[in-house]
């Protein structure tokens, strides 16, 4: 059974970026979510509110249950302040999880995202998974996060240019339901994090590839012994 890990900066990024794909994979693979940041303490009203953090983690666990993933873990880095930390500290956290899980496939943020934490998560993952002897990771995919990747308006290079489209017609409802678990993060339409907008994006990505609904990814790296495997 293939082990899959999604490394994300904040709770809800896993659902927004690849929730329907994780739900699809969870039916036949060992799928784990790793949340590096606390996701809320940058907000003035929650800066010292540990209850708000724990409630957000409760929501993340509820979302993970909807998606059917095997585990969700929290590394509790400071929200929107990853750039105050040495990159090596973030890399070490990613490396530790890779040693524990030995994932063959990783999903993470796109490097051209508006959110600095998202950018640094991607960089830490790429640093921790350098293709050296002994690294278990064969494939890395980057995803888009509505209300972040799209809000760069092409001004942050490189822009997200999807090359992989996953048919999620059977699991888009789980993605929307998982997002509903996030009481403090979900929004009403026309916000990109609303259920209606998430379905619309999946329809748009699907139409690009001749599918009803799809999640889109950029392939970062694929190492194969068999070119058709």
- Answer yes or no: is 72 within a domain: yes
- Answer yes or no: is 229 within a domain: no
Laid out side by side, the sheet with 71-77 consists of 71-77, 30-37, 3-8, 105-109, 139-143, 214-222, 164-167
How do the pLDDT tens digits run along the chain, 229 residues long? 899 999 999 999 999 999 999 999 999 999 999 999 987 776 645 455 678 888 999 999 999 999 999 999 999 999 889 999 999 999 999 999 999 999 999 999 999 999 999 999 999 999 999 999 999 999 999 999 999 999 999 888 789 999 999 999 999 999 999 999 998 878 888 998 999 999 999 999 999 999 999 999 999 999 988 887 7
Indicate the pTM of the whole model: 0.95
- Answer yes or no: is 228 within a domain: no
- Answer yes or no: is 16 within a domain: yes
pLDDT digits (tens, 9 = 90+) for 9-51: 999 999 999 999 999 999 999 999 999 998 777 664 545 567 8
CATH number of the domain to which 16 belongs: 3.40.50.10320
Task: Name residue 8's beta-bridge partners.
Answer: 35
Question: Burial letters for 100-117: b for 16+ Cβ neighbours within 10 Å, e otherwise?
Answer: ebebbbbbbbbbbbbbeb
Q: Can you tell me the distance from the alpha carbon of 155 to that of 177, in angstroms, rounded to the nearest whole number?
A: 32
Domain of 38, in residue numbers:
3-222
- Answer yes or no: is 195 within a domain: yes
Structural domains in the chain (count)? 1
- Answer yes or no: is 65 within a domain: yes
Q: Can you tell me the distance from the alpha carbon of 174 to that of 68, in angstroms, rounded to the nearest whole number?
A: 9
- Answer yes or no: is 227 within a domain: no
Beta strands 71-77 and 105-109: pairing type? unpaired
Q: Which residues contact 61 (CB under 8 A, 6 or more apart)?
A: 72
Tokens of 146: 């509505």
- Answer yes or no: is 83 within a domain: yes
């Amino acid at each position: 059974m293939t082990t899959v890990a999604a490394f994300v900066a904040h709770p809800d990024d896993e659902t927004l970026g690849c929730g329907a794909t994780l739900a699809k994979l969870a039916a036949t693979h060992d799928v784990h979510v790793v949340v590096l940041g606390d996701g809320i303490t940058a907000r003035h009203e929650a800066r010292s509110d540990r209850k708000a953090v724990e409630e957000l983690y409760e929501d993340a666990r509820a979302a993970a249950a909807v998606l059917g993933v095997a585990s969700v873990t929290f590394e509790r880095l400071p929200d929107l302040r990853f750039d105050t930390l040495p990159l090596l500290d973030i890399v070490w956290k990613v490396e530790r999880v890779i040693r524990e899980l030995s994932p063959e496939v990783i999903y993470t943020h796109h490097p051209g995202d508006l959110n600095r934490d998202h950018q640094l998560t991607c960089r830490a993952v790429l640093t921790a998974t350098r293709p050296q002897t002994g690294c278990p990771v064969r494939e890395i995919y980057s995803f888009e996060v509505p209300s972040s990747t799209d809000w760069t308006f092409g001004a942050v290079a490189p822009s997200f240019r999807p090359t992989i489209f996953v048919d999620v017609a059977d699991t888009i409802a789980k993605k929307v339901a998982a997002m509903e678990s996030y009481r403090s993060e979900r929004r009403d339409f026309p916000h990109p994090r609303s259920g209606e907008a998430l379905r619309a994006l999946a329809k748009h990505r699907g139409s690009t590839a001749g599918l009803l609904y799809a999640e889109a990814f950029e392939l970062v790296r694929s190492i194969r012994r068999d070119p058709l495997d």
